[in-house]
Amino acid sequence: MRFKQKESISPDDLRKAIYLIDSYRAHLFYDISWIDKRVKEGKLGNRFKVRWKKLRKVMIKMASISNEIAGVRKLAKIQNYLEASWQIIVPLIVLIAFLSVLAPQSFSLIKGTTVYLTVIAFSSIILGLVGRFIIGWKIGRKIEEHFLKNPEAHEFKIYEVRNAVQLLIDELRKFLKESNQNPSKHRIGLNFMDYKYVKMVKKPKPWRKYYIAEIIV
């Protein structure tokens, strides 16, 4: 006789999965490999576990389309190089600046460059963030234009993705009701507000392109 495996729902994993999968509707294709482990552990619920294999294929197909669009791959590489460069340069400059504080007076050259290094560090951070935003926006525009010209390319896929997000929202809602937890402690990020049992708490901002929503229990 087989016993049904007990669910071990994780509200944090549900929230992360909701945002990630919903992002595919906005053509933001994040890594989904971590979901495999959560599904296997039952962290996202048994109903989602049944659908995950098919949904996974759909999402991989959606993400692969971006590589077929002219210019997207090149922009993505530039974005990766830009992000990697400032992540390396900034800690290095901060380290040099820190050492300059500890350096003896004989190393006056190092001490004299502290201000300049600090300016370079902050400039690198700003340029990295702004560059990432601009390139990300261009990538999004190219993908959006592609799907506008070829609506049949992902109409069915978007439907599948939306249903999966709604299922996860339902799972989170069920968890909150059964555990009697405050929904305000488990808010979610959404790119779209066309789901049931959610209400908008915060609108998107220039630095945050998604809504902050709360589950209605």
Reported as a single tens digit per residue, the pLDDT across 122-140 is: 777 777 777 777 777 777 7
Three-state SS at 123 = helix
pTM above 0.75, yes or no: no
- Mean pLDDT score across all residues of the chain: 81
Q: Classify residue 4: in a domain, yes or no.
A: no
pLDDT (0 to 100) of residue 61: 84
* pLDDT score for 157: 79
In a domain, 107, yes or no: yes
Question: Does residue 89 lie in a domain region?
Answer: yes
Question: Is 81 among the domain residues?
Answer: yes
Residue 53, domain member (yes or no): no
Report the pLDDT value the prediction gives residue 166, as an integer from 0 to 100.
Answer: 97
Q: 177 CB contacts (<8 Å, ≥6 apart)?
A: 217
- Sites in the chain below the pLDDT cut of 70: 1-7, 66-68, 79, 82-83, 86-87, 90, 93-94, 96-115, 117-118, 121, 151-156
Domain span at 96? 72-149
Strands of the 211-215 sheet, one edge to the other = 188-190, 211-215, 198-202
Domain count for the chain: 1
Q: What are phi and psi of 215, to 5 degrees?
A: -75, 135
- Is residue 180 in some structural domain? no
Torsion on CA atoms 32, 37, 38, 40, rounded to nearest 10: 130
Q: Is residue 126 part of a domain?
A: yes
Q: What single DSSP character describes residue 184?
A: G
What pLDDT does residue 17 have? Answer: 97
pLDDT for the residue 5? 43
Asked, for residue 93, whether it belongs to a domain, the answer is yes
Exposure string of 171-200, with b = 16+ CB inside 10 Å and e = fewer, is bbbebbeeeeeebeebbbbbbbeebeebee
The predicted structure's pLDDT at residue 4: 44
Which residue in 65, 60, 47 sits closest to 163, CA to CA?
47
